[in-house]
Chain A
């Protein structure tokens, strides 16, 4: 759905995006992560034909940026970083304006559909200026969907929202994913990216890495299992460490933390061995590094 090839953008001497090459598949939620000023918004603007690249190219929904900009704008939806609604016009009128600009056939039908879907139908006649931040964001999402785009660019969709509103927006994104839409999600919220994204891209002017969150965790930190014992000791750790498939075994506060590649395969054997050596196993669980750990590690390393 989206293919970029050495996509580059310079503003004067300032290199904003450097030779970005990536592919986003149809129906995928693709997280685009990076620090402030990394060039995320510039990339989204290039991919939505708002600005042109200095060098390189991109195909979005089968259309080439710079050459088929009208078709790109017609077929993609964008949620900009700030909702940018017309505050002194009603919610309904705001959407009617955009539905007409997006050449929607059934303007009133589509407007009603999305106002109802996002729980704004009862407030449709109210000026947007009277809306809470969460409601404005939902309205902006509705605006991005009026023309039923197959690709959606969402730039910080939950930024500044309270937890309840954030959850609503996240649930809605999950719903869109179920509908098979391709979602290009720019976010600083790593927990959100972890929950929603099939793959993430860490970006800082140039591409650092692209993969699924699980694979990135495994690559950077390996897999770890925590065995909660009634009483852990170094003897148990040394016993486990002697197994050929164990990378590392450490005792931390009555917990035995074991690094290994395939816990599903080896955990039963480890538990048997621990019990044979007198250990009382209370709980067993996988130690999951947060995506924040992954992200910080990547940004620090590169």
Chain B
């Protein structure tokens, strides 16, 4: 555990000196918190009494009968942006993890590091946690900031109940960390196969596409997130994470990294 801890602290000491990484960790979650709050604020007085026929039918079914049309519209609009809480744990660690291995290669610090009696599991666990912990914390903090803001801005207890549906708690508290692990391992995999941190970042960003798909799919009205979809998505993520960790460990061949990917 000591070695994992020292790798985590070393990574943080290094990456948080990088302003770009630091701003990604701080400002992106803040922006993603502000957007749904702005949406709450701007839809407070929609004046709608009946549900608009433009809204997806699945959504109309999801809105409880106690909500007015305006409140249901507010829930609908804010929900579109709450998916952003699932993007934070994907995007934030990419910056940290993509630099993780390739950064060590460019500074030539990888060889002395690999020459120490650290196991591959310890090294990858350290690098994983160093990238995932800030991302998960940033996501959770921004979600709790959103809840606090929503309590202040939302007038109807019914709307609050809808926005704090179990689905979102699962999405943020369970799926969030799983998304981080997926993102980190994908980035480390890419990072150990390329030589330039910028390339590593660009390729690693591919991992956010599935969640972007959810975001745009919902905006386009192709589907609407509900508890069942989120639980199924979370289970799928869990399986994907196991697979991704397995592949990342298998691909992390010290010899190949040192000799082929110079």
B111 touches A50 (CB 8 A): yes
B258 touching A89, Cβ below 8 Å: no
**A177 beta carbon closer than 8 Å to chain B:** no
Query: Does B209 reach chain A (CB closer than 8 Å)?
Result: no
A52 to B258, CA, bound (A): 12
Instruction: Produce 1/0 per residue, A59-95, CB < 8 A to B.
Output: 0000000000011011000101011111111000100
- B residues 3-17 in Cβ contact with A at 8 Å: 3, 6, 10, 13-14, 17
CA distance A96 to B2 in the complex (A): 12
Is A45 an interface residue when CB atoms closer than 8 A count as contact? yes
Number of A-B contacts (CB under 8 A): 70
Question: Is A100 interfacial (CB 8 A cutoff)?
Answer: yes
CA–CA, A287 and B108, complex, Å: 43
Q: In the assembled complex, which residues on chain B have CB atoms less than 8 Å from the CB atom of A259?
A: none
A100-B259 contact, Cβ under 8 Å, with A73-B117, A88-B17, A89-B13: no
> Contacts of A74 on B, CB cut-off 8 Å?
117
0 or 1 for each of B101-119: is its CB under 8 Å from A? (1 = yes) = 0000001111111111111
Indicate the member of B13, B117, B254 with the most A CB atoms within 10 Å.
Answer: B117
Complex Cα spacing A74 to B118, Å: 9
CA A205 – CA B115 in complex, angstroms?
23
Are A84 and B109 interface neighbours, CB within 8 A? yes
Q: Could you tell me if B14 and A98 are in contact, using CB atoms closer than 8 angstroms?
A: no
Contacts of B111 in A (CB 8 A): 50, 80, 84
> Can you list, as one digit per residue, whether each of B1-38 has a CB less than 8 Å from chain A (1) or not (0)?
01100100010011001000000000000000000000
- List B residues 220-262 near A (Cβ within 8 Å): 254-255, 258-259
Cα–Cα distance between A227 and B258 once the two chains are bound (Å): 55
Pick from B3, B17, B107, B259: contact of A51, CB under 8 Å:
B259
| Interface flags, B148-168, vs A, CB<8A=1, else 0 | 000000000000000000000
Given known contacts A89-B10, A89-B14, A102 and B117 CB-to-CB distance under 8 angstroms: yes
Cβ B115 vs Cβ A78 within 8 A: yes
- The 8 Å CB contact of A88, one of B2, B14, B258, is B14
The listed residue (B6, B13, B114) touching A50 by CB distance below 8 A is B114
B53 CB, min distance to chain A CBs, angstroms: 58
Q: Is A265 in the interface zone, CB < 8 Å from B?
A: no
CA–CA, A244 and B215, complex, Å: 99
Q: Are B117 and A100 in contact (CB under 8 A)?
A: no
A86 with B254, Cβ < 8 A, contacts A50-B114, A100-B6 known: no
- A11 to B262 Cα, complex, angstroms: 14
CB distance from A256 to the nearest CB of B (A): 53
Q: A275 at interface (Cβ–Cβ under 8 A)?
A: no
> With A50-B254, A97-B10 known to touch, is A84 a contact of B112 (CB < 8 Å)?
yes
**Measured between C-beta atoms, what is the minimum distance from A281 to chain B in Å?**
56
Give the chain A neighbours of B116 by CB distance below 8 A. 73, 98, 101-102
Q: From A11, A45, A78, A89, name the one whose CB has the most chain B CB atoms within 10 angstroms.
A: A45
Task: A45-B258, A50-B111 are known; give 4 further A-B pairs, CB within 8 A.
Answer: A73-B115, A74-B117, A80-B108, A101-B6
> Which A residues are closer than 8 A to B by beta carbons?
11, 45, 48-52, 70-71, 73-74, 78, 80, 82-89, 93, 96-98, 100-103, 140, 143
Show 26 A/B contacts (Cβ-Cβ < 8 Å), sorted by A: A48-B115, A50-B111, A50-B114, A51-B258, A70-B117, A73-B116, A78-B112, A80-B108, A80-B111, A80-B115, A84-B107, A84-B108, A84-B113, A85-B109, A86-B14, A86-B107, A87-B107, A89-B10, A89-B14, A97-B6, A97-B10, A98-B116, A100-B3, A101-B116, A103-B117, A143-B112
Binding site for A on B (CB under 8 A): 2-3, 6, 10, 13-14, 17, 107-119, 254-255, 258-259
